[in-house]
Amino acid sequence: MLVLPLLAGLMAVVRAGSATSFNPVPHPRQCLTQTSFSFPQFNVNKTGSLRKLRYADGSLHDVLLPYAGWASARILAEIFYILLAEVMEYSVTVFDNSVPNSGAGVNYVSGCLDPTDASCAIRNLTNPLLHFTIESWSSGIERTQKLPNDLQPTLLTVMEYDTVDQIFIWSDVYNAGTRQNIFLDYYKFYDPALYSAFEYFDSLDTLLKILPIEYLETCTALDTKEFGNDRRKNKYIEFTQNNEVDCMNDVVWLSPACRRLANNSKCIPLIVQYEYHVVFQLSYFLNFPVALLKVRDGTPAFDDVYYRTIRSTKLMFGWYKPDDNLLGLSDKYPVLLKCPDPNTLEQSQSFFRTSLSNVKPRNYCWRYMAATDGHVAFLGSRFNFYTQDMDAMMGASALAKSRGDKVYDAMFNVACQWVQTNMDTWKHWIPAICPPGMLADPTLSFCSPCPAGSFCVGGTEGSQLCPIDSFCPAKSSSPIKCRGGYVTDGQGHTQESDCTVCSGGKVDLNGGCWSLDVVLVVILVPIFVLLLLVGQLTRFFTRSSSSAEEKKLAKMVKSLRARLHITRKEGFLLNTEKADMWADREKLVLIDKQSMESAARLAMMKREFDETFFDSFCYSLARIQDKDSTSHLFSIQYMSLCNWILELCQQLLEYNLDFSSPLKEMSNHMSGSQHALVENLDRAQHISVLLVDMNQEERYRFFEDKMPRLSIWNDDVTLFVKLKNLVAEICRKLRKVSEAQCQAILKEPGGELLLELADAEDSLKLNENAPSSDPWSSYSSSFMEGLRNVDQIPETPLRQDDARVQAIRVSEEDVKEARALFTRSCQCLPEHVFVAQLHAKATTLAETFRESLLLLLLPHSTGLVVQHAGGEEVTLRCRFEGEEDDVTVRYARVKSQHRMREKLKEFAPPAPASGPPAAAPAAAADDVDNAPPALATSPALSDVSHAARSVNVAAISRLASASFVAPACRPEAAWPLAANIVDPVRLSVVCRGPSKMLQVLQWLRAADSSEPLSVCRIRNKFVRARRKEEKGEEEEEEVQGEVDGGGLRVLMVSMLLRGPRGMNIIGEVQVHDVRTFPCYVQMQRMLKLRRSETMESYRLEQAGEAEGDKASISVAT
């Protein structure tokens, strides 16, 4: 054993520390000024005085927030502070030195006085040290579960981003190993029996020269939990059966793999600050030859030493995200060490042989916060962030620190910048804070007038009953005293006439008491008539002074109420309407006027309609119970609402304004009152008139921007199913239109030549129907070798991994590992790595592909080029035989990784009905290498990572049962399957008539191998029109039943792009007729909607926010 000379004699670890006190974080300036902050409903209600929390004993307190020891929690605390203090006008104190770790924050919010005591023996539940945790990581979540049930804090939100706590290495270390084919981001390359990974890292002696020894935490301190940390030595011995837990000089623990080395100077230094017990076990199970050290935590000084050491050395280190300490370096960046996928069941038992699971942080609050102040709790329950937000804030924080900004200033500036630029996000987090005379509704969503008999001081206060010596009309901000010392006969009176002193059936009038009959006949009756007349005149002048837009809105509200059966006659009132004197008030249903007007604006296709109010409107109708009918579950009002929404969607998505409507055809499947609802469609056709001035593109954009955001799609999943059925009917109509247009186009000059082009396309195909007596063995041979055999390479490249393309690169090691896996378990390497490669290459070369195509067309143009607004298309004036005409080049987005993965199912290997010839012995559920072939998943559907093979056999069986069963070998499905995707980058060329389409195709085919673009393959979709004409009505049902591609008539030209720096890719150019192109575009939009499982998934796909794609891009990079 090599003795560490720098470590001997230097152990003088300081074990005692002084307790730190909470320090308020200073806030010398405001974030939101009058120029940067425009929030009308709150600017009006600002009082200038700060609100406080009122405890049950009547005492007033500030809102107390933590200022944790890591950057992400500090920035979120500052954002919470700005919203509370500057927007909601609360008195807030942010405490530094309060939360060294997530567990301490949970204890303080629970009322515990000792931040490390999970039993919370010393506590004060009525006056906690903190009110919110803001960002609790895994230790905080674990602490919450350990607390007694009656002490646990309230969970407010689960954040929409992941926290990562894993082992990392520097990118320069990874790059150095990669050059020698040693991939140090994968745990298997640390096996000392196979690789010499230590050559790329600094030695332990080098680390100890840099790292001050007094900052290290000893193994004894860990075992005794002196500083709250524990390496869980007993668990290590229990699970590993290894007793080598001693530490050199009580500081450095050498792993078993390190101890087996003849010279332990080859051990790789690994330092951590947290999760020592995880790395402790992981080093044994993954055979890491490491020397493990732990740096103290809990203070900025310890953190500074830890990160300064990491930045200045080459070693393995523990790091967590989101964090800014290791960002912003110009020459390197942290690289995650890929370990086996997490096993949460084992980890729940403190058994760690896999990497830690990513955890979404929580936000907890004091369990009595909602009862103390619902407005503050409302903000906390909606306080949430996404991965994009955290990445941007961490980058800004790192930049601020690199400039030398102080910590307080840097955190506040980053938080302020986010608040100033994201008002549309956080304005929905703010509860209703009302002016005097108003109060918030029970959901704190909006303000409503104070009811008569009570007074409302506004702000966050509720209503108070009018006292006995006063009266309170509606909208009262304070009680009005009775005149002359009169009093009422109780609390809650609403008008001055309730202030009485007369008795005996008489009332006080003009200083005297009069009998009731005299008052009614002589005075009150004329006054009542006069009031009625004044009311009518007021209503008349009010209507006359209304603007034209307000009149349209009122007319639409009236029409929509009749359509949805929520009229006054049917027992529904707006909250601004007064009920009739004879009405049964218990049966009346109130509807918020703002919500009703929001629905009317949607009917009028106004882009400024408020989605939040409309969601409230839908929720109000969904809660109505139809007591008069037992034939269906929902009320007639809610069913009318659903049918009206479907009708709006139909009007927005129809290719033309023909509202004879698939929606009406759905009425054939209804009965009773449901059928009656659909019959009311004819009486609502005036709504569709509003769409006359909107073209097809404007209607679709309105649908895309507004309709998917409605909450009703998530609340009622059957409604989205009905929408997909409606879209299916629209698709059938679009296919009929496309077929009719196609038949007419093919009768024009050049039509017959266009159809004859199909034979040329067929000649380029490989043999797809080769017979095979054993489909599984035939496919197995083709799948692993297939097109990779040089004797079968076609003259033109048809795959992205072709040696002449190499848009997908497969190393020889990958081929060997894939062949071995396929032989043993019918499984191959996963496809997501190759999909990510192809997507990254397509994104890089998309612009080059567009420019190269334009260069092929420009020699045939007259020089007139029109760049359309938005940059999505270019129009050229081109010379054809005998005339000039326009040719439009329409750009398309790069095919998304989500769509590429769906495309892989078309090439997935077959799952044999009776299994492969030889079955392997049964295996454990977590060992895919020994699993029977019949249960192995296909490579296209496999979701097993490159770093780990541990999967669930039952899940594999389900995937295998969903695989495609092919009757014979499919040569185009040779591995990797992603290489068969030849349209990752796409363009459309639109011209008029078959002859011009053929000329454009001739221009494309004229390019030789010296040009950047050359043709690889041509697929003629117009040949389908001939087949339909020859087969007649027999094939009508089949064509109508197609989901993807039905009715699409286009020339599809696969072209090889030879890009800069040797980057090549096969893309697709589609040649369209200008008359069928709009139909094609609309059909593609409909197919996206039909493929979606939910409206939310459709919205995310349209917005390009798939998290899985981002993770795959990082792997490819």
Q: What is the pLDDT of residues 883-911, one digit of tens each?
A: 899 999 998 889 888 888 888 877 766 54
Residue ending a domain, choose from 371, 397, 429: 429
Query: What Å distances lie between residue 84 and 4, 31, 612, CA to CA?
Result: 55, 12, 22
- 88 in the same domain as 50: yes
Residues 6+ apart with CB under 8 A from 843: 894
Give residues with Cβ within 8 angstroms of 180, minimum separation 6. none
pLDDT value at residue 45? 55
The answer to whether residue 76 sits within a structural domain is yes
Q: Is the pLDDT of residue 623 over 80?
A: yes
- Whether residue 996 is found in the same domain as residue 861: yes
| 743 falls within a domain | no
3-state class (DSSP) for residue 1058: strand
What pLDDT is stored for residue 744 in this prediction?
87
pLDDT tier at 777 (50, 70, 90 boundaries)? very low
pLDDT at 944 over 90: no
Of residues 249, 192, 243, the one with CA closest to residue 216:
249
Higher pLDDT, residue 238 or 527: 238
Mean pLDDT value across residues 224-250? 91
Residue 793 pLDDT exceeds 50: no
Same-domain pairing of 332 and 370: no
Instruction: Note whether residue 917 is domain-resident.
Output: no
Q: Once rounded to an integer, what is the mean pLDDT over residues 845-858?
A: 92
Same domain for 507 and 596, yes or no, is: no
- Same domain? For 461 and 590 the reply is no
What pLDDT score does 937 carry?
A: 33
User: With bands split at pLDDT 50, 70 and 90, how would you rate the model's confidence at 683?
Assistant: very low
Q: What's the pLDDT at 673?
A: 37
Q: Does 585 have pLDDT greater than 80?
A: no
Are 265 and 215 in the same domain? yes
- Quick one: 582 and 677 in the same domain? yes
What's phi and psi for 903, nearest 5 deg?
Answer: -65, -30
| Longest pairwise C-alpha distance within the chain | 118
Cα atoms found within 13 Å of the Cα of residue 791, Cβ hemisphere only: 1
Spell out a b/e string for 620-645, using b for 16 or more CB atoms within 10 Å of the CB, else e.
bbbebebeeeeeeebbbbbbbbbbbb
- Strands (E) across 792-925 are located at 861-867, 873-880, 883-891
Residue 920: which pLDDT band, with cuts at 50, 70 and 90? very low
Domain-ending residue, one of 378, 399, 429: 429
Please give the C-alpha separations between residue 584 and each of 567, 589, 1023, in angstroms, as whole numbers: 15, 11, 69
Crossing angle between the packed helical segments 593-603 and 548-563, to the nearest 10 degrees: 100
Q: Bigger pLDDT: 709 or 914?
A: 709
591 occurs within a structural domain: yes
Are 878 and 982 in a shared domain? yes
Measured CA to CA, the distance from residue 382 to residue 368 in angstroms comes to: 17
pLDDT tens readout for residues 255-277: 999 999 988 889 999 999 988 99
Domain assignment present for residue 326? The answer is yes
In this structure, are 181 and 291 located in the same domain?
A: yes
Q: Is the pLDDT of residue 1105 over 60?
A: no
Task: Tell me the average pLDDT across 10-25.
Answer: 49
Res 17 pLDDT > 70: no
Q: Which of 369-383, 497-511, 744-758 has the lowest mean pLDDT?
A: 497-511
Give the residue, 931 or 45, on which the prediction is more confident: 45
Torsion of CA 8, 12, 15, 19, to 10 degrees: -140
- Rounded to an integer, the average pLDDT of 124-138 is 92
Mean pLDDT of the chain: 78
Within-domain flag for 806 = yes
The amino acid at residue 949 is R
Range of the domain at 983: 754-764+775-897+972-1093+1108-1112
Percent of the chain with pLDDT over 70: 75
For residue 358, give Cα distances in angstroms to 166, 232, 381, 1111.
9, 21, 22, 13
Of residues 375 and 627, more confidently modeled: 375
Instruction: State how many domains the chain has.
Output: 5
| pLDDT per position as a tens digit, 542-583 | 666 567 888 888 899 999 989 999 888 888 888 888 877 777
High-pLDDT (> 90) share of the chain, %: 34
In a domain, 2, yes or no: no
Q: 443-474 burial, b for 16+ CB within 10 Å, e for fewer?
A: ebbbbbebbbbbbbbbbbeebbebbeebbbbe
DSSP character at residue 524: I
Residues 615 and 533 in one domain: no
Kindly list the distances between the CA atom of residue 329 and the CA atoms of 325, 395, 399, 1113, in Å, as whole numbers in the listed order.
10, 11, 10, 21
What is the mean pLDDT of the segment spanning 375-390?
A: 93
386 plus 455 within the same structural domain: no
Q: Kindly indicate the confidence band of residue 508, based on its pLDDT and cuts at 50, 70 and 90.
A: low
Same domain, 192 and 323: yes
Domain boundary among 347, 378, 400: 347
Decide which of 1028 and 649 is more confident.
649
**Model pLDDT for residues 719-728, shown as the tens digit of each residue:** 989 999 998 8
| Higher-pLDDT residue of 291, 1106 | 291
Work out the pLDDT band at 312, boundaries 50, 70, 90.
Answer: very high
Mean pLDDT throughout 101-115?
Answer: 91
Q: How many Cα atoms are found within 13 Å in the side-chain-facing hemisphere of 1051?
A: 33
User: For 20-57, what is each residue's pLDDT tens digit?
Assistant: 478 899 998 899 876 555 555 555 456 668 899 999 99
From residue 162, alpha-carbon distances to 142, 321, 810, 949 in Å are 16, 8, 31, 23
Note whether residue 748 is domain-resident. Answer: no
